[in-house]
Amino acid sequence: MEYTVTLPIYFMTSKKKTTMVGLNFYRNAHYGILNKMKKFFHDLVEEELCGRVPLKGQVEVHYKIFLKRRGSDGGNVGSVIAKYALDGAVTAGIILDDNADIVVRETFEYFYDKTYPRAEVTIKELRISL
């Protein structure tokens, strides 16, 4: 069994400013903004996975990151998306935890999509028991 969630890679930090979600932003952002961002992503993941059957045992996660501009640092974005997506999946009850006993493989692919930048996160069950 597997589930795919689509997440934005841009976040409105104020009424006038939108920023790309990534480590460069994350390490310098005010904790209040980070809390809003965390809640925003957890709510999105929970909404998309609501009512789905929980995955049992170990999982692998694949991230497709669609960047708006060439030259963008995909790993910069992927690391923060991975954190929020997995935390959201745990909160939604889809996976038991996001530790290395449960999430045994994570892979990333990077693409360019000028009109619809996003992250597509696929969580796939590997086996039933631990």
The two structure tokens encoding residue 105? 């493989």
CA distances to 6, 59, 76, 79, 80 from 9, in Å: 10, 23, 11, 11, 9
- 0.75 cut: is pTM over it? yes
Q: How confident is the model at residue 33 (pLDDT cuts 50, 70, 90)?
A: confident
Torsion of CA 50, 55, 58, 59, to 10 degrees: -50
**Cα–Cα distance measured from residue 77 to residue 22, given in angstroms and rounded to the nearest whole number:** 4
Contact 84/20 with Cβ under 8 angstroms? no
pLDDT in tens, 96-126: 999 999 999 999 999 999 999 999 999 999 9
